[in-house]
């Protein structure tokens, strides 16, 4: 009985996420990476509905920067309630980028090429999406994720 209880508690710890256990804070990620990663377009903080924008479940919190449309660049940080939802969002973002590539391939092939280097990273309940002009973006992101 004791062993079952201990096992159950361990499983609970694995599926949930708290800021103390993951040690990843999207505000910190944002303050570091949004300044370090370079973009060709002017990105603006987006305050609209990210679920509809990306087709993901509503995140626990998010910080999203979008461009003017002149390029495919964007930067987004999401924190989800649990790793399952985070993983689903990761897959959906891969699909989102694939669709963007197909759209841009017709109207702006240069941006379709840029999307080939889109970065989607996941750690615990945090997911990051970055499409930029910065060839060192992945290296910079890897310092934190």
Partner 1 sequence: MKLKKSVIIVGIVMIFVFISGLGFFLIQNKKENATVVLESSEEKEQEEIGFDYSKPVLECSPMEDETYFNDAIFIGDSRTEGFMGMTNLDATFFTHIGLTVDTFFSDPVLYMNGQKVSILEALKNTNFQKVYIMLGINETGWKYSNLFAQKYGEIIDAILQINPEAIIYIESILPVSKEVSDTHAYIKQDKINEYNSLLQNLAMEKKVYYLDIASFLKNEEGYLPVGASLDGIHLNKEYSLKWLQYLKNHYIVENTLEGENK
3-state helix, strand, coil in the chain (%, to 5): 50, 20, 30
Stretch that binds partner 1, among 3-11, 13-21, 68-76, 121-129 (CB under 8 A): 68-76
Does 55 help bind partner 1 (rule: CB under 8 A)?
A: yes
Query: Reduced to 3 states, what is the DSSP secondary structure of residue 64?
Result: strand
Of 66, 81, 133, 144, the residue at the interface with partner 1 (CB under 8 A) is: 66
Which positions ≥6 away from 130 have C-beta within 8 Å? Answer: 33, 37, 74, 75, 76, 118, 119, 120, 137, 141
| String marking each residue 92-121 x if it binds partner 1 according to CB under 8 A | --------x--xx-xx--------------
Residues binding partner 1 (CB under 8 A): 40-42, 44-48, 51-55, 66-71, 100, 103-104, 106-107
């Amino acid at each position: 009985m004791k062993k079952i209880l201990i096992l159950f508690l361990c499983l609970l710890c694995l599926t949930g996420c708290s800021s103390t256990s993951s040690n990843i804070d999207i505000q910190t990620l944002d303050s570091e990476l949004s300044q370090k990663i370079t973009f060709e377009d002017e990105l603006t903080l987006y305050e609209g509905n990210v679920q509809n924008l990306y087709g993901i479940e509503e995140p626990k919190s998010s910080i999203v920067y979008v461009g003017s449309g002149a390029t495919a660049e964007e930067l987004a940080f999401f924190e989800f309630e649990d790793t399952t939802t985070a993983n689903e969002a990761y897959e959906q973002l891969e699909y989102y980028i694939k669709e963007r590539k197909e759209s841009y391939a017709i109207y702006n092939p240069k941006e379709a090429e840029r999307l080939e280097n889109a970065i989607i990273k996941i750690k615990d309940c945090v997911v990051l999406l970055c499409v930029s002009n910065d060839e060192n973006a992945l290296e910079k992101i890897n310092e934190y994720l």
